[in-house]
Structures are given as C-alpha cells and as structure tokens.
Chain A
Amino acid sequence: MDTLIVILVGILVTIGTYLILSRHLLRIVLGTSIIGHAVNLLIITSGGLKTGGPPLLGERNANFTDAIPQALVLTAIVINFAVTALVLVLCYRAYQGFGTDDLEHLRGEEHE
C-alpha cells in the first residue's frame, strides 16, 4: 500500500510538473495544486499507513496511526489553500492587466 501511494505521488508530481512547465497561468496554478495534493499524501505515507485506529483516545484501540504527520498535513492544507487563493486572484489580475494568460506574452520587456 505504501509503495502504491508513493508511485501515485510520483505520477501526480509528473503531471503537476508538466502542467507547471506549460505556457498558461491557469495551468500553472492547477499544477501546483496537484503537486500540493501529492506532497500531502507523501507526508501521510511517511508516517506509516493503516497501522492502527484513528488518533482519537475515546476509541478503545490498542494503537493509533501516527498523529504527527496528520497535524503537519492539516497545517499544510490550510497554507496551500491560502496561497492558492492569492495566486488565483493574482492570475485574474494579471489577465485583466495584460489581456492574456500566456506566459510567452507576459515576458518582461527589455530594460524594465
């Protein structure tokens, strides 16, 4: 299972990277989102999968899954969301300002 998730992460990173290398701002934001998901999955996987019950003390489980990666990922999700929201608005503004979301057209002019 862990190996399978890591391979899935690899595939997601590949797709995300390919999107980031494209010319459109929107695709770059989509790519970063996919990579964000992949990284969260990787963090969870590194703590070991399915080793016990959910980390809630009320349940009468003998052992729990690792709670630290979960806390880390929770933080990461929120930050990811904040950054994505900001970048989205930036893309929107860039489109409004320059009339295009094609990076090749958004290249800085000489001696700016």
Chain B
Amino acid sequence: MITLYLFIFLPFIFACIVPLLYKYLNRQVHTGWFVLVVPLSILIYLLTFIPAVASGETFEYTFSWIPSLGIHITSYVDGLGLLFGLLISGVGALVILYSIFYMSKVREALHNFYIYLLMFMGAMLGLVFSDHLLAFYGFWELTSVSSFLLISYWYERKSSRQGAMKSMLITVFGGFGMLAGFIMLIMMADTYSIRELIANMDVIQGHSLFIPAMLCILLGAFTKSAQFPFSIWLPDAMEAPTPVSSYLHSATMVKAGIYLVARMTPIFGGSPVWFWIVSGVGIITLLYGSLTALRQTDLKPLLAYSTISQLGLIMSLLGIGSLAVYFGPGESGTVFTVATFAALFHLFNHSTFKGSLFMVVGIIDHETGRRDIRYLGGLMHVMPITFTIALVGGLSMAGLPPFNGFLSKEMFFAAVLDVSKAGIFGLNSIGALFPVIAWVASIFTFVYCMIFVLKTFGGKYHPERLNRKVHEAPIGMLIAPMVLGLLVVLVFFFPNVLGKYILAPALTAVLPMMTVSSYDLKISAWHGINYELLMTLGVILLGGLLYMAKKRWLPTARKFPQGWTLNHFFNEGLLSAERWSASLTNRYMTGSLRHYLLYIFVFFVLLLLGSLLWFHGIRFDFSDNAMINIFDAGLVICMVISALTVLLAANRIVAIVALGALGYMVSMFFVIFRAPDLALTQMVVETVTTVLFLLCFYHLPKLKRTIERISFKWTNLVVSIAVGLTVTVLGLSANGHKLFEPITSFFENSYKLAGAKNIVNAILVDFRGFDTMLEISVLTIAGLGVYVLIRQRSKRGKEHEAE
C-alpha cells in the first residue's frame, strides 16, 4: 500500500518540478498540460479501489514520522475518504484542463498558480485519507495556507489581498479551535487514531470534556465550510481566479468541514447538542445563503452565497442523519440513515453542478469581460453551449428534474419531514420549523437560480454594454463544464450506480453501527405522489411567481442596510480591536522612565509582600541580636541624616558630598563589623567615586551647579515607603529563619588548604577565584566603555565642527 502514499504525495513532489517545466517549456507548451497528469493518474489509481471498497474492504498504510511521540502519517481508505478523493482528483483534473484555456500562457505567472494548486490538492488528499488526528490537522492548515495563496494570486489587487487575509483569519481561527478539540479527544481516549476513537466512544461520551471538544471541533468545521456566521470569507474569496473558485470554493475545500462533521458523527452523533448545532446552523445557513444570494448582482458572489446555502443544506442533513446514531439499528434509525445518505448524495451533486456553474461564469467573464448581470443578457444565441451547461447546472441547483439536484432535494425534504416527527430532543415543539425553513429557502434558491440563468442568457442582447465582441468559448474551455454537466444528467438517470458503489460505502464509514440494506438506499426519481413532490411543485410555482414579480420586490431587497451585514460587523470588529489594543498599549507605554519604574516597584512590593503574607513567611526573631552601643546608634542617625541630605539638597555639590559621607560611614560600619578588607575597599572606592562625581559635574561648564529642588509626589512617596518596608520586613524575616548552619567553618581552614591567613582574601582568590576573575572583567569592560564614550564624543564633536 505504499503506492497509496506515493499518490497522496505526488502533487507535492510534482509541485517541485513545476518551476523547471515553466521555465524551460512554457514557451512551447502551457504548463497546465504537464500538471494535468497528476490528478488524472490519481483519479485512475483511486478508481481501482472502488470494487474493493464497495465490498466493505478498507486499506491503510502507516508511515512513522515521530514514533517516539506516537505521531504517524496514517493513510486510511474507506468509503468516505474515497468519495472525497474521487471528487478532489476528478474535479481537480477538470479544473486544470479548464485552467489551461482560462489562464493566459503569456500574461500569468503560471508556475505560482500550479504550485499553489498542487499544494492544495495534495493537502486535500492528505486530509481526507488521514486517520491520525495531528496529521489531519497539518493537512487542514495546509489547505488554509494554499487557499490563502490562491485567493491572493493577483496580489497586486487590493481586494485580492483583503479577501485572502479575511479567509486566512477566519479559517485559521477555526483551525486552532479544531486543534484544541482534537487535543481534548486525544486526552479523553488516549489515542490519535480516528478509528480507535470511534471504537472507544463509550469512554468519550461519558467524559466531562465531551461537549467542549465537540464545540471546538465544530468551530473548525463551520469556519472551513462557511457556515453562518463564519460564511463571510467565501464571497470575498471570489477574488481568486475562477478555476480556483470552482475547485476550492465550491467543490473541495469548503467540503472539508462537511468531511470533518461526517467523520466525527460516529463519536458525537448521538448527542442532542450535536444534532441541534449541526442541523440548526446548517438550516440557518441554508436560509441566510439563499436570501443573500438574491441580493447579488455579480455572478461570482451570487454563486458564492449559493455555495454557502447548499453547504448549509448538506450540514443540516448531516445533523439530521446523526439521529441515526441515537436510535441505533432499527426502523427509526434507518429513516435517519437515509438523511446521511442524502447528505453524501447532495455533496456529490453539488460538486458537479457548482463546479460547472463556476466554469460557466469564468467563460462569460472571459468572453464578455463582464460578470455583472445588469450588463449581461441575451447571450443564449451567442453562446448556445455555455447556455446549455448553465441551464443544466442552474436547474439542478434549483432542484428540478431531470437533473441530479432534484433527487437530492427530494431526499432533503423527506429528511426534514422525518425529523419534524422524530419526537426527541424537544423536536415536538419547534421541529415543524425544519420543513418550513427548508421549503422557504428552496423557493429562494429557485428564484436565484432563475435569475442566474435567465438574466444572463435570456432577455435582450446588448452588445453596446460589453466591451468586446462576444462569441462562443473555445472548445477546450467547454470540455470540463460539459463533462460535469453530463454527470449531472447521468446521475439523475442512473443514481443507483453511484449510490451502490460509492455512496453506500461512504455511508458505512459515517455510520458504522448501522446495518442498512441496499434496498432502503435506492434512489428513485419517481416515488408516487407524496409530500416531497408536492413541496417541490410548490417551490416551482411560488418561485416562478416570485421571479415574475421580481421587479417589485428585488430592488427593495437589495437595499438591505449595510450596517447590518456580517461583513460590516467583522470589519468593525477588526478595526475596533486594533484601536482598542493601540489605545491600551499607549495608555501604559508612556515612554516615561518614571512610570515604568513605578510598575516595577509596585509589582515588586505586591509580589514579595503578597507571597510573604500568603506563605506565612513573616517571622521576627530578635534573640540573636548583638548589643547596640552609642557609636552604632550615632552612626545610624548620621547615615539617615546624610541620606536625607542627598535627597533634599538643591545643590549638586552638597548632594555629592553627602553621598560621600554616607559611603565613609558605611566603611565605618565595616570596621565595627570586623571587616577590615571591606572597610579599606569601601574607603578607596568611595573616594574615587566622589572624585568621579565631582569631575563629571564640576568640570562641566554648561551644567548649572544647582538643580531644582526635588519635587514632591505622593505616589513616589507611597511607593518608596512600601519598597523600603518590604525590604525591611524581608530582611528581618530572613534573619528570623535560620534554616541550617553556615558553611563558614570550612573556610576557617584557609591556612591549611590555601596557605593564607586572611580568610576573606583566600575566598576571593583561591576558593572562589572565578568570581574575582569575572569581576575584573566587569571592571575592564566598564573602563573600556567609559573610554569609548569619551572618545566617541570627541569624534562626534569634530564632525560637528566640520559641518
């Protein structure tokens, strides 16, 4: 099975060769022709899996990546992965074929385009065939990154960059949420493998992290699949080249979230929270997308909102299908299994018709230079083939026979009718909303499909509105949408071939506990007169009426207030976050040294006093105190006085002399404390320091001798008293805690060990000589620093003079 591995990584490997091909061969052959080989060979390879997977086999291959941490890249092929794999490689091949004719060989940076596209394809294949959660996450983010690169392909346009940034922010936000959810899952079940998670679902369902993990994972799925309210990035991603929109933003990447929900259904499916969030958000997205699509005049955003709406449909079907996990095998379970089946079916159908519709828009854009329906019209006779494809795709999207959208729409209606009668999870009271919302949304879907097809191709032809001579697209550009359109029709007439060989094994992967016979999963175009059919008839009737009367209500609908759109909230949110953080930073980062010192001192006091109080560390013990005699008391008083003089002096010289006095008194204390070396050093150092001070400030002609009297500030006083108090308390408490005997007695052997009678000196140069060496370095560095500072000044001075 190492070949499976090879095929997943084939796009990445090929992406490395693309620049060479582009550099040396692009003049002769469009680079896309070489790239086309990759998805085609993957498609053919994956097709060989169908018989085995349909008979219930699965395949796996593990490549150890970080074995010590249990991280492997496990490729696992089952029905669901295969369905997605076929879509990715199949639509990928068609999109690359289309792009060969769409992207100019001369004007575009094709190597960038195909590298990003191959990167995306490999990431997506890795994603759907991953069994390891962390590998899954890795591929997931790689799809975000490659999508970012593709959206900003024309990076010189501002709107491309903004769209790319928005999609990056939203999908990566969700991706992080998903990672958190995955980590919770890993903690709960102690495994990285999705299959082992499903096997251990009893442990997971009883765990307290069950709901948080579910919410985090759903966040990832909803942001990726553009569910309400995270859908705003998808319309802005339409700034990408049309093949990209067709591939990423209708057929593959936006279905990664659907894939995730389907994969996680066996784990979370039985829970009411899962059901309500997935199907509720799905059905809201369905309604929101179809309503917003009506207001669009640009064809690509219209299709983007319709994608959002259709993804909502699939999502709500998956939510309804998760009830099968609750009911388990049995009659009512089977009913909801059909809903999951419908979800997978519509997933396939949507990829076919939406892919072709995007390509149609690309053709219109390419041939007329316009995408706005206010300029288009009457193209039916000019572009008959394109019109036929658009009609097939549009009617399929609207849910009309004889196209595959009809079948999945009927199954969708059946599912929402079933769920309103399920009678669990509080569905009795508001369950009736499901069919109503679904029906209303379907009417709007019908209307925008009609707008899409008829406003573009119907009506009068206005050549003066278009800035070039319009004619039918070249045949190469039409092949890919034609193949997709053909699939749309073929699936309608032979749905059960697809159902039996591809969808049924995928269903087994989503709901492994259900044993549903193939009879229940028969898709039939005609199943008698029932509610579903009546609903579809109602959709056509009301939708038709609404379309006829659109001149009355559509302009009003388009005047929806800008302040209430989700985009507005997102942009304002970003701006205010920036403003808020800037003002917060500016508030405390004042640039004043005094403020920063105040923060430091306040934290010092709070932390030290706080922890002293918290750990009961304050203990005073005065028993070891030595006696105080008159000299000591006098010295202490003199020191306080001279320190105060330093503080209050208005004259520099006075302050410096008082500081010197303080230093000499410290050396007197060293005398009292029986520290002769210290006293000596302190005396010398103090003298030199004072001389330095005096040199510095006496021999400066510009500097005034006097300084302003120190200004009084309450905060400074309070803070400095608190600091002093903290130090005092700390010092006293430290003296109160004698933990063990000092090790001084060892150094009293200094004569025996080091041949020295002066213990302090022996410690400095013998026992702890290393300190002394570094201390000498400090002194040297300081000396060099002083020298450089002075030298540099004189150089600068000369330069100034020269100027």
Contacts and interface: CB of A to CB of B under 8 A. Distances in A.
B626 A37 contact: no
Contact of B728 (A10, A26, A40): A10
B615 interface: no
Interface residues of A, number: 83
B720 A75 contact: no
A24 B649 CA distance: 13
The listed residue with most B CB atoms (<10 A of its CB), out of A3, A7, A108, is: A3
Nearest to A2: B625
Contacts of A56: 676, 757-759
A31 to B, nearest CB: 8
29 contacts: A1-B626, A2-B624, A2-B625, A2-B626, A4-B633, A4-B636, A9-B727, A13-B724, A17-B720, A17-B724, A18-B716, A18-B717, A21-B597, A21-B716, A23-B594, A34-B646, A44-B669, A44-B670, A50-B672, A55-B748, A55-B760, A65-B674, A67-B763, A70-B675, A70-B677, A71-B763, A83-B778, A88-B692, A99-B702
Contact of B759 (A7, A67, A82, A99): A67
Given A18-B717, A26-B707, A64-B748, A93 B793 contact: yes
A90 B789 contact: yes
A100 to B, nearest CB: 10
Contact of B710 (A27, A34, A50): A27
B786 A86 contact: yes
B778 A82 contact: yes
SS of A interface (majority): helix
Contact of A42 (B717, B731, B783): B731
B728 A45 contact: no
A84 B594 CA distance: 20
Interface stretch (B28-36, B143-151, B314-322, B659-667): B659-667
B225 to A, nearest CB: 42
Contacts of B731: 6, 9-10, 42, 45-46
Contact of A19 (B646, B675, B785): B646
A24 to B, nearest CB: 6
A19 B622 CA distance: 31
A24 B707 contact: yes
A52 to B, nearest CB: 7
Contacts of A20: 597
Given A88-B696, A95-B703, A96-B793, A7 B735 contact: no
Nearest to A73: B678
Contacts of A34: 643, 646, 659, 662
Nearest to B756: A57
B657 to A, nearest CB: 11
SS of B interface (majority): helix
Interface of B: 591-594, 597-598, 601, 622, 624-628, 632-633, 636, 639-640, 643-644, 646-647, 652, 655-656, 659, 662-663, 666, 669-670, 672-678, 681-682, 685, 688-689, 692-693, 696-697, 700, 702-703, 707-708, 710-711, 713, 716-717, 719-721, 723-725, 727-728, 731-732, 734-735, 742-744, 747-748, 750-751, 756-760, 763-764, 768, 771-772, 775, 778-779, 781-783, 785-786, 789-790, 793
A30 B720 contact: no
Contacts of A2: 622, 624-626, 735
B696 A53 contact: no
B782 A86 contact: yes
Contact of B720 (A18, A57, A99): A18
Nearest to B731: A6
Contact of A41 (B666, B757, B768): B666
Given A50-B674, A52-B674, A85-B786, 12 more contacts: A4-B633, A11-B724, A21-B719, A23-B711, A30-B659, A41-B666, A55-B674, A64-B744, A65-B674, A68-B747, A74-B681, A88-B693
B242 to A, nearest CB: 42
The listed residue with most A CB atoms (<10 A of its CB), out of B593, B696, B748, B760, is: B760
A85 B636 contact: no
Q: Give me the 6 closest cross-chain CB pairs, A-B, nearest first.
A: A14-B724, A10-B728, A82-B782, A17-B720, A55-B759, A1-B626
